[in-house]
Amino acid sequence: MRAAGTPPQAVGLVVPGIVDSERGVAVHSENLGWRDVPYRELITARTGLPVGFGHDVATAGRAELMLGAARGERDVAVVVVGTGIAAALFVDGVPLLGHGWAGELGHSVVDPRGAHCVCGADGCLEAIASAAAIARRYAAVTGEPVAGSREVLERAQAGDARAREVWDGAIEALAAGIRQLAAILSPQVVVLGGGLSRAGDALFAPLTAAVARHVPPHRVPELRPAKVGAHAGLLGAALLGREAIA
């Protein structure tokens, strides 16, 4: 029970992996090794508070839809490009969850003869175009380790042809992934977040051109940079927590 005058409280919790936000269960995380952990129940039992619970990308997507770059839109994909690539999908304003299995855009194949992916397939989008993959691919081609995708971009801009090839290959792969989204879900807006989206025009200008070049006869989605910032996932979970109070 809360004292009179104190605002209602809730917990916002985000986790990676496969997350069934409707049941409040972290179904599977390859990196953290958990299976079917009933987080909502556990945290509610510990705190006595309502819990807004979801996948970090799904909740970041919710924050972008309600407060950020996709505010006021209905058909939206929020694609987060970092160590991996995943998407939060909204169809007519409703999240498309698939019990936690929807939105694994990083494992859609964009080049069947492309790089091997951790999931076992070849040519997955995130094996070519994630920030980690860009750095890894450049290091593999040149034998020179780099700090991250930003350094590959800087080298490309300074005239390094091998860096340019890796960067442009990532752009083409991302464009192919976005075209798949356009063909299947036809989002009006694709919001790009995560570390790579901070590359600004060096990403958005060629990516917008590459998507538009091949996308007809589908609706060409508008690409926008994420707005909410690094804590979008937590903010989205807080929004869910607020809904849990209501």
Site of interaction with Zn ion (CB under 5 A): 107, 117, 119, 121, 124
Give the nearer residue to Zn ion in terms of CB position, either 61 or 177: 177
Q: Is the peptide bond before 217 cis (omega within 30 degrees of 0)?
A: yes
Shortest gap between Cβ of 211 and Zn ion (angstroms)? 21
Give the nearer residue to Zn ion in terms of CB position, either 14 or 128: 128
Length of the chain: 246
Sign of CA dihedral 161, 170, 192, 58: negative
Structure tokens at 75: 């058909």
Shortest gap between Cβ of 85 and Zn ion (angstroms)? 9
Shortest gap between Cβ of 115 and Zn ion (angstroms)? 10
Shortest gap between Cβ of 119 and Zn ion (angstroms)? 3
CA distances from 241 to 11, 119, 136 (A): 6, 32, 38
Give the nearer residue to Zn ion in terms of CB position, either 51 or 129: 129
Shortest gap between Cβ of 139 and Zn ion (angstroms)? 20
* Integer Cα distance of 218 and 22 in angstroms: 32
* Integer Cα distance of 228 and 84 in angstroms: 19
| Cβ atoms of 17 and 34 closer than 8 Å | yes
Give the nearer residue to Zn ion in terms of CB position, either 107 or 242: 107
Give the nearer residue to Zn ion in terms of CB position, either 40 or 55: 55
Shortest gap between Cβ of 128 and Zn ion (angstroms)? 10
Contacts of 86 (CB under 8 A, 6+ apart): 55, 57, 79, 80, 103, 104, 105, 106
Q: Determine the angle formed by the axes of helices 149-157 and 131-142, rounding to 10 degrees.
A: 60
Give the nearer residue to Zn ion in terms of CB position, either 79 or 117: 117
